[in-house]
Structures are given as structure tokens and as C-alpha cells.
Structure 1
């Protein structure tokens, strides 16, 4: 039986890719999806979303800032085999903010 968010929303992404892990709710701004789709195409799909939408409870559990853009569907975190390459490409797209955390091995992006 398909999962609740097993709905394809773009060429490379499903709703479940952006869902909150605790409540399965999804909020995603169309601009974030557009930029993520461009990034995925440029790196040939070699990225994995590790944190998309977060409800208030989950955001607190992971130590997110109180007014996190994750809670508004305006941010996501990803991982990739070559983080530096993906980071360099993401910086050229229309994200308003891109941060590479080499220690924790993820990239945070916002629109």
C-alpha cells in the first residue's frame, strides 16, 4: 500500500521527500521545489533530502531555531557524495541562502 505522501510533485521528487518525519505533514513553497529540481538535474539526482518541512515539535527536537524556515516550507537540508561540488552548484542557483556544514556533512538551503 502506498505511503500517504507517495505522490510525485516534480520530475525528481515526491511529497514524502519533504515531509516531517514525525507527523508526515508537508509544506513546500513552489520556489523551493523549483530550485531543488534545478539542483537535482544539474547533479544528476545525486542528492538526498535529509530535512524538509518540520513541524514545531520536530523542529524543537532537532534543535532548530524557533522561527526556522523549515517550518514554513522555505528550507531543506541535503546530503550528497560530493558536498563541495553540490554546494558550488547550489550557490549559483536562486536560493536566498546556502550553507555547507562539512562537520555534519549536509547543505542547508533556503528560498
Structure 2
């Protein structure tokens, strides 16, 4: 039986790529998805490491109280070329982009 989160929502992503790891719920802003597809179209290989977070999970990971992750408007990614992904993300219309070179991930918001 197909789970709802196994539905493909774009060329490269399924709902499950964005689901909360503790409850499997998903919220996903369409602009976030569109911008991530643009990153992939530039030849980058990205992986979502944190998509939607319910309030409980956000507290567990010590996220900010009003995190855009809890609204489906933010994600964290890893990438085969993190520097290039960071530069591209800044040009794609994300409202906020932050790179953590030590932990090797990028946080992006719309």
C-alpha cells in the first residue's frame, strides 16, 4: 500500500524527503520546492537533511521557537558542492540562506 508521503511532488522529490522524522507530517511551501529543483537543474546533487519539523521535533533539535521549518518554508541540505550550492541559493530567491561549513550543510528559507 502506498503511503501518502511516497507521492512524487516534483521531478526529484517525494513528500517523504521533507517529512518530520518523529511524526511523518509534512508541510511544504511550493516556492521552496521550486527553488530546490532549480538547484538540482544546475547540476548539483542535494539531499534534504531537515525539512518540515513539528513543534515537538523543533524543540528536540533546539530550533528557534518560530522556525520556518515548522511552516514548511525552510530546509537544510547537504550537497556534492556545498560552496556552489550556497552561491546558487543566494541568487535563486530564497529569503534567507546560511551555510555551516563546519557541519557541511546549508539552511534555506522562503
TM-score tier (shorter): over 0.9
2:51 alignment partner in structure 1 = 52
RMSD between aligned residues: 1.1
Q: TM-score, normalised by structure 1?
A: 0.94
Deviation at 1:33, TM superposition (A): 1.0
Q: Which runs of 4+ in 1 moved over 3 A?
A: 1-4
Distance in structure 1 (CA, Å) of the matches to 2:33 and 2:62: 24
Give the whole-Å Cα distance in 2 for the aligned partners of 1:53 and 1:43: 25
Structure 2 unaligned spans of 5+: none
Question: Residue 61 of structure 1 corresponds to which residue in structure 2?
Answer: 60
1:19 — aligned with what?
Answer: 19
What TM-score, normalized to structure 2? 0.95
CA–CA separation in structure 2 for the residues paired with 1:10 and 1:24: 19
- Count residues in correspondence: 110
Tell me, in whole angstroms, the C-alpha distance in 2 between the residues paired with 1:86 and 1:32: 14
Q: What runs of 5+ residues in structure 1 fail to find an aligned partner?
A: none
1:37 deviates by: 1.2
